[in-house]
Amino acid sequence: MVETSGVDTTGLRERKKQRTRWALTDAALDLFLAKGYEATTIDEIVAAVDVSQRTFFRYFAGKEDVALSILREYDQVFLATLDDRPGDEPPITALAAAIHHVLDSVRSADEEHTDRFAKIRDLVERSPALAVSQLRYFSEMEQQLAAILARRMDVDVATDLRPTLIAATFLTVIRIGFDGCARDGLFQPDEVASRIEEVFAVAAETLPHAWSAR
Amino acid sequence: MVETSGVDTTGLRERKKQRTRWALTDAALDLFLAKGYEATTIDEIVAAVDVSQRTFFRYFAGKEDVALSILREYDQVFLATLDDRPGDEPPITALAAAIHHVLDSVRSADEEHTDRFAKIRDLVERSPALAVSQLRYFSEMEQQLAAILARRMDVDVATDLRPTLIAATFLTVIRIGFDGCARDGLFQPDEVASRIEEVFAVAAETLPHAWSAR
DNA sequence: CAAAGTTATGGCAGCTACTGACAGATGACA
DNA sequence: TGTCATCTGTCAGTAGCTGCCATAACTTTG
């Protein structure tokens, strides 16, 4: 899982592309960490990898994307795992199991990946612009997640609000876990993972009580 | 409440500023609606009001801000109302009362304001960029709200996750209400208000059940 | 192995959002 | 009326981002 370094089942062309992509990503992350996200220009990033600016924008949709596009891989793992959970499970159980699996796969990945994970967590906390981008990623995720939950619950996502509500609330809890890690300076996968578990537990205890007391 | 057109207790200078600000806002909203947010340039907006581009950026932090800065007024009303609620009320009751009051004040405002409200709701739905900006506004709001709730609950917002969780979940429900309105083409204040009430009710019924079934 | 075809890359010109600095206009106030 | 504060316009510049076209690099076919 979280297979990133493209396997060489492909041609030379594809391998070269993967290499440039990772080179750009790593150069960008290091520059962002060294001198700040805002203060780093695209020109500096492409200079470090020795490609043209035009090429950069063929790989990434924008400056934010170079840092956050990696997150989509985790999203894919999460959604795939969720899809594999037994259909008779209550939504919250399936969600908890899926997020648990993703965090485990991050934790057990090789150093190269865990490093990048820590760097991104660090960056998102330091740069307001990246924090906003992360919100956009979460909101894209919300829609996909709601669709999957609707299928599991066998209802229409357009008319029944419940899958959307559950998806959004779940992602909110996860996001707050990440935010808390950032605030406390926890960037390593295992630290983040245990914090997420903790927030999830507090939420499971707090939210039902808070909402029923209306 | 939602007092916008500055009362003339101030001097000529201040009145002129308010007029320019509203002129820019309305020109921008109309242009955005007419030809789309992305397709509208700052130059077109300032040309319609006959001020320089530099002046625009002295009034608004950016292109998105001209559409969304109005929302801050509603935020202020909301937070102020919440502050006035009796301290022994459970958080969710106070939150429900506060949002109810804001929606009422929007509903009962003069046509000029309700018009702007409808335009903004319409725009946020059509433009992805504005939708993202709205997410940022919500996240700023989340922090202020969490702080207020922490005070009400007499806990420390930095160590106790509950106020943040409740604030974030509440805002998530509100946001989903807005999103639903946008999807169904409901932009008028009274339509939006009743939809929000509805989502709130569904959430109060769904979330406790969904989370307790862990 | 060479030619033809496909696809990635680089360079350039241009647009737009946004900012700093300075000079001039305009309301505030004694 | 004159002085002061502040708002406004102009200009020059930076940075993100895109379209266009020629060229280079890989792939496939004969």
Q: How far apart are CA B41 and CA B31, in angstroms?
A: 9
Report the sign of the C-alpha dihedral through residues B178, B25, B23, B185, in that order. Answer: negative
Assigned domain for B83 exists: yes
Q: Is B201 on the interface with A (CB under 8 A)?
A: no
B109: in domain: yes
What nucleotide is nearest B49 when CA is compared to C1'? D8
* Amino acid found at A129: A
Nucleotide nearest to B46 (CA to C1'): D9
Parent domain of A113: 64-211
CA of B55 to C1' of D10 (A): 12
Residue A150 pLDDT exceeds 60: yes
Q: Mark whether A47 and A76 lie in a shared domain.
A: no
Average pLDDT over residues A155-180: 96
Domain with A129 in it: what CATH number? 1.10.357.10
Q: Cβ of residue A16 near strand D, that is under 7 Å? A: yes
Residue A14's pLDDT is: 94
State residue A7's pLDDT score: 41
Please indicate, yes or no, whether residues B98 and B155 belong to a single structural domain of this protein. yes
* A137 CA from D2 C1′ (Å): 59
Q: Could you tell me if B17 and B40 lie in one domain?
A: yes
Residue A120 has pLDDT above 50, yes or no: yes
Q: Which two tokens stand for residue A58?
A: 């063929």
B13 CA, C27 C1': Å apart? 6
Residues B15 and B92 placed together within one structural domain of the fold: no
Check whether residue B19 and residue B75 sit in a common domain.
no
Distance CA B94, CA B88 (A): 9
- For residue range A203-212, what is the model confidence (pLDDT) as tens digits? 999 998 888 7
B55 & B69 share domain: no
Place of tokens 């914090």: A195
| Domain shared by B79 and B35, yes or no | no
Cα angle: B91, vertex B97, B101; to 5 degrees: 145
Which chain B residue's Cα is nearest to A162?
B206
Measured between CA atoms, how close is A14 to chain B, in angstroms? 32
> Nearest CA to A1 among A80, A111, A84, A92?
A80
Same domain, A46 and A91: no
Residues 6+ apart with CB under 8 A from A191: A181
CATH value at residue A16 = 1.10.10.60
Q: What is the pLDDT of residues B69-97, one digit of tens each?
A: 999 989 999 999 999 999 999 999 999 99
User: Who among A202, A204, A206 is closest to B214 (CB)?
Assistant: A204
CB of A133 nearer than 7 A to strand D: no
Q: How much is the pLDDT for B210?
A: 87
Assigned domain for B53 exists: yes
Counted residue by residue, chain A has a size of 214
Contact check, Cβ <8 Å, B161/A213: no
Q: Could you tell me which of A149, A162, A209, A158 has the C-alpha nearest to residue B198?
A: A162
Within-domain flag for B174: yes
Is position A48 within any domain?
yes
The domain boundary, picked from A44, A60, A76, lies at: A60
**Are residues A24 and A94 both part of a single domain?**
no
Question: In the complex, which nucleotide's C1' lies nearest to the CA atom of residue A53?
Answer: C10
| Same-domain pairing of B77 and B50 | no
Cβ(A165)–Cβ(B176) under 8 Å?
yes
Quick one: pLDDT at residue B101? 94
pLDDT exceeds 80 at position A213: no
Query: Which pair of tokens denotes residue B56?
Result: 């625009």
| Residue A151, amino acid | R
pLDDT for residue A209: 87
Buried b (16+ CB within 10 A) or exposed e, B47-62: eebebeeeebeebbee
Q: Is the pLDDT of residue A10 over 90?
A: no
Q: Is B165 exposed, middle or buried (0-12, 13-18, 19+ CB in 10 A)?
A: buried
Identify all chain A residues contacting B130, using CB atoms and an 8 Å cutoff.
Answer: none
Residues of B (17-46) placing their beta carbon closer than 7 angstroms to any atom of strand D are: 17, 20
pLDDT over 70 (residue A58): yes
Mean pLDDT of chain A: 92
Distance from CA of B170 to the nearest CA of A (A): 9
Q: Does B202 touch chain A (CB under 8 A)?
A: yes
B35 domain-assigned: yes
B98 at interface of A, judged by CB pairs closer than 8 A? no
Mean pLDDT in residue range A69-75: 93
Q: How far apart are CA B135 and CA B161, in angstroms?
A: 21
- Picking from A158, A161, A214, the nearest residue to B96 by CB comes out as A214
User: What are the per-10-residue average pLDDT scores of chain B (214 residues)?
Assistant: 47 94 98 97 98 98 96 93 94 94 92 93 95 96 96 95 97 96 91 92 91 66
Count of other CB atoms within 10 angstroms of residue B9: 7
What chain A residue is nearest to B146 in terms of C-alpha separation?
Answer: A176
Count of A-B CB contacts under 8 Å: 120
- Judge if the beta carbon of A59 is closer than 7 A to nucleic acid strand D: no
Instruction: Pick the closest to residue B139 from A142, A63, A138 (CA basis).
Output: A138
Nearest to A194 by CA among A173, A182, A177, A176: A177
Residues B97 and B137 in one domain: yes
**Number of Cβ within a 10 Å radius of residue B110:** 10
CB contact under 8 A, A176 and B168: yes
